[in-house]
Chain A
Amino acid sequence: MGGLELVYALVSIVVFPGVLFLVALSLFTEYMVRKISARYQRRMGPSYVGPFGILQPFFDLLKLVRVKEIVVSRYGMYRAAEVMLLIGIAFIAGSVVLLPLSLYNVIGEFDLLVFFYMSSVMPLFMLILASLSMPSPYTVIGVSRLLSIITIAEPAYFASLVIPAYLATRNAHPFMSIAVAYANVPALWLNPLTALIMLLSVIAFVVSVQAKSMLQPFNIPEAEQEIIAGFETEFSGPVLGLARLLHDLDIAVTLIVGAYLLLGGPAPFRHLSIEGVLLLVIKYLALLLVIVTIRNIMGRYRIEQALVQLFKYGLVPSLVATGLALTLGPMA
């Protein structure tokens, strides 16, 4: 690795689109979620800290990390929880080198699978381990519900990303690469055969993201009325700040990859063009608006209802899309 390459790699991991950019984006995403939700509920939402209240999530995080005390109890291993959450965040930050957004972009066959493992599986796994590091009966119930939901949500989410990538790269090299796939996605939407498959993938994506991000109607793992705060019950102060940051980062990165693989990212424009950046931002915000709207117009399902609905509207569309992709894909 040459000197310039090393500098680009470091900047990509630490500044853009790595740690600093991702944290800023996730806090902005949280701001948008709170602001749009407030509008749906005829409230103002964050308004006072920074212009239009945009710095509210940042100061909330800062307050949790800097001001709030660390609560130590006999059975809680808060240091383990901190390390688990930091590892989860680091996996998400490290996965961005596989995104075309990165200044130092690594491309290879099946890089989508590596990205999926790093940005979706590991963060959830670390969140669960962090929760179990500070155990209580409520935590255990919350974690068991979370595990039940992700058992169905993760395959649906995985399929909703793999299907467009497969269709877009089946005749290209490297196969199943995010950077190669996104440029061919607009063509998939223009072909009637593949447009139907893409539509099913989008439905599976939206439903599964709603579930894996624990947004209504699938927020039963953190149901406050029943189980205090579910898997988050024992988190407080800096640990709670990290857990919320991990949650926000998960949503942000999920939406980015959704904007790339389902909506085509900046395509047909280039990444470094103004049109390309604007188009990417619009697609990101459109996906965000959809999930926040669903969050606000739906109530919470009980766990067994959540699993049935997730199966119906998440897993079934993804399975149908997989079948269609394998049968119609070669003809398209």
Chain B
Amino acid sequence: MKIVLVSGNSYDVVYIATIAAGLAFIVLSVLYYTTRSRRVRVTPVYLSGEKEDVVSSVSPSVATLYWGFMKRFARALYDALIGRVHTGSLHDWYKFLSSWLSWLLLLAIVVFVLILVVG
């Protein structure tokens, strides 16, 4: 003998199946945590049998991530930065920075004034 519940509402199916999964989770957790091994071994092993002190840092530095991204995915921007900004000449750096920053500064001032005037 079996019980067949025919539901006219699809949401009922979702609710009942979710409750069934929740109940199964409780049963499984009880079974698992009562039988699970209590022995714990703390290991310093990091990779391929070596400890983590074989690497200089455990995660890439922010600068590495930034330059990795720029070189791989923003090649045009990278070339522009290298060719026009970081040329080694302080004059090039100042020229680039002053031009763009001047425009941005002017824009910021205009917006600020507009906000003050318009409210």
Contacts and interface: CB of A to CB of B under 8 A. Distances in A.
B42 interface: yes
Contacts of B64: none
Contacts of B2: 8, 102-105, 271-272
Contacts, number: 148
28 contacts: A5-B3, A13-B24, A19-B28, A69-B37, A70-B40, A72-B42, A73-B45, A73-B46, A75-B58, A86-B28, A86-B29, A90-B22, A90-B24, A91-B21, A93-B24, A94-B17, A94-B22, A95-B20, A105-B2, A105-B5, A106-B7, A107-B6, A107-B13, A108-B7, A108-B10, A108-B13, A118-B21, A272-B2
Given A73-B45, A86-B29, A237-B37, A94 B20 contact: yes
A42 interface: no
Interface residues of B, number: 42
Interface in B28-46: 28-29, 31-32, 35-37, 39-46
A184 B24 CA distance: 31
Interface of B: 1-10, 12-14, 16-25, 27-29, 31-32, 35-37, 39-47, 52, 58
A45 B19 CA distance: 39
Contact of B27 (A14, A105, A238, A272): A14
Interface string A67-85: 1111111110000001000
Contacts of A70: 36-37, 39-41
A19 B43 contact: no
Chain A interface mostly helix, strand, loop or mixed?
helix
